[in-house]
Structure 1
Amino acid sequence: MKKFEANTLEEVYEIASNEFNCSIIDLEIVIAQQPSKGFLGIGKKTAIITAQLKRKQKTENRKYRETKYRKNNINIEDVSQKIANSNISEVKTQKKSSFKVPNVEGKEQIFNNFYTETNQKDEISKIVIKKDKEQIIEEVKNDVNYLFQNTCYEIDEVEVAFYDEETLYVEFNGKDSALLIGKEGYRYKALSYILFNWINEKYGLMLRLEVAEFLKNQEEAIYNYLAPVIETIKETGTYKTKPLDGILVHIALKRLREEFPNKYVAVKTNVRGDKYVLVNEYRSNQ
């Protein structure tokens, strides 16, 4: 077992996985000391763990190294060329096939769909959900809990319920649940993408994901920002919000559309790629 130390559990897990060159789930980890901020810096503690590769992973790594050493005379350029030729052959085969691959939306577009717009409601209404609500809740709860039960994170049993007729509410809580959010919410977005892709494909439902009150806090922050904005729109009839990042732009869009159903409210992107919400008197018919 090797010992690792960092300011947070997230950092020390990453250090350990980099040291062993594997995923966290392939490690046996023992937390020797929980991190603590202390009070005014007094009593501050770092995160300390001991970790080692799981037995199965050790065997697989040993086999990989032996195979690698036996085949060290292989020309990398030859292998690369074979892979390239193989990919070209697969592409040609797919073109000849009569099977049509469905168009898959990009990750950003799927994330945009978490906040339902008018045309999305029409599409969802066409999907027939054969299973009743209780069965869907039970299946999703069991599958999500099974997915996270063997991770190194201490997470309570995931809560699942219907937020409305078209949206499933999934909530993560527990000691390490905040680690699922990540810096600037990048892990939250990734988790949302994965769960939405599965839930929407299998049940035809939208997703509202809550992780350690992250969504609640984001909504409260944007609502506070929008309060004077709404008053300005009522006086002038138009407004352009400041650039908003990630989930904030979608929360703002939903809130302003609720407040001004007869105005044109849409997400726009400036030349730098920043997103903002535009409100004006023109109401699009499309």
Structure 2
Amino acid sequence: MKKFEAKSLEEAYELAKNEFQCSITNLEIEIDQQPRKGFLGIGKKNAIIRVFEKSSQVSSYARKNKEHSFRKKDIKIEDVSKKIQDSNKEEIQVKSYKKQELRSVPNLESKENIFDNFYEVDEKQQISQLIVKKDKDEILQEVKAGIDSLFSNTCYDIDETKVEFYDDETIYVEFTGVDSALLIGKEGYRYKALSYILFNWINEKYGLMLRLEVAEFLKNQEDSIHTYLEPAIEIIKEKGSFKTKPLDGILVHIALKRLRDEFPNKYVAVKTNIRGDRYVLVNEYRSKEQ
């Protein structure tokens, strides 16, 4: 007979099983004391059991454990080493394949960056090299047919879309009608999305820029920003530099174009402050001539 003490009965049983090297079913167990958790450590008691082995013969459980330990010793180190090396090679190949997959995935831009890149008015702006040279009338017909097809199954009540050349490098598209204002959306998000879709198509296929007007949204935005910039232009002429207030969405691009047109020999660029607000900076000390 042997006594075992532990925090719980399960732990006490495990101690007895390891001591006698047999299954718990081959032992006779008497519980001398039930475990108690107590309260804040007061009155805490461990489990105490008395254990008797049912038979004196060595149990099959112990023999199996010994045989198992001998089998482990019989394993050759060379075999194990080879398996580890093979496993490492497979893991390296998998990691290499995953890295190649990740390299093949293009970098994704946020929706604001996508729109900014689309609407940026910059002399360094790249135009797609894959340009199909076509007659202007043919281009207008294809663009109008594509837009009509895009909106043919929508529920919007829109008049016939106006498509014409704004200048030699820009196509002008105008949406009018009872429901045309719905294409603008809250804070102009639908307008931005539609602009991005049409621009990517027109620029990629024809190498042209886009000027999109929806229910006079663009005109109203331009009028408001031009009114704001009138006194700013006088300040720039007097002092040589100026920084606009934070501008949202399309306003910053309208302001950028107006100020670059007004001051072609000055440094005019869009900047972002620490809060993420975007503004236009005009600086006479960094002119294009320098």
Q: Is residue 142 of structure 1 aligned with residue 145 of structure 2?
A: yes
CA–CA distance in structure 2, aligned partners of residues 206 and 155 of structure 1: 23
2:243 to 240, 248, 253: 240
Give the letter for the 2:187 counterpart: E
With normalisation by structure 1, the TM-score equals 0.62
From the superposition, tell whether residues 158 and 94 of structure 1 become closer, same or farther in structure 2 (CA, over 3 Å): farther
Give the letter for the 2:115 counterpart: F
From the superposition, tell whether residues 105 and 204 of structure 1 become closer, same or farther in structure 2 (CA, over 3 Å): farther
- Give RMSD over aligned pairs: 2.7
With normalisation by structure 2, the TM-score equals 0.61
Q: Is residue 118 of structure 1 aligned with residue 123 of structure 2?
A: yes
Question: Given that residues 107 and 193 in structure 1 are in contact (C-alpha distance below 8 angstroms), is that contact kept between their aligned partners in structure 2?
Answer: no
Question: Given that residues 169 and 209 in structure 2 are in contact (C-alpha distance below 8 angstroms), is that contact kept between their aligned partners in structure 1?
Answer: yes
Question: Given that residues 267 and 282 in structure 2 are in contact (C-alpha distance below 8 angstroms), is that contact kept between their aligned partners in structure 1?
Answer: yes
CA–CA distance in structure 2, aligned partners of residues 131 and 94 of structure 1: 42
Stretches of structure 2 lacking an aligned partner (at least 5 in a row): 1-93
Secondary structure of 2:124's partner?
helix
Tell me the residue number matched to 1:274: 277
* 1:207-227 deviations in Å (ceiling 9; x for gaps): 111000000000000000000
CA–CA distance in structure 2, aligned partners of residues 147 and 163 of structure 1: 22
Higher Rg of the two aligned structures: 2
Q: Which contiguous aligned blocks of 4+ residues in structure 1 show a shift greater than 3 angstroms?
A: 91-96, 99-110, 125-129
2:161 to 158, 162, 172: 158
Cα offset, 1:164, TM superposition = 1.4
* 1:39-83 deviations in Å (ceiling 9; x for gaps): xxxxxxxxxxxxxxxxxxxxxxxxxxxxxxxxxxxxxxxxxxxxx
CA–CA distance in structure 2, aligned partners of residues 169 and 232 of structure 1: 33
- Superposed counterparts of 1:1-286, under 5 Å: 92=97, 95=100, 107-112=111-116, 113-120=118-125, 123-124=126-127, 128-281=131-284, 282-284=286-288
Aligned pairs, number: 194
Cα offset, 1:125, TM superposition = 8.3
Give the letter for the 1:138 counterpart: Q
Cα offset, 1:107, TM superposition = 3.9
Cα offset, 1:190, TM superposition = 0.9
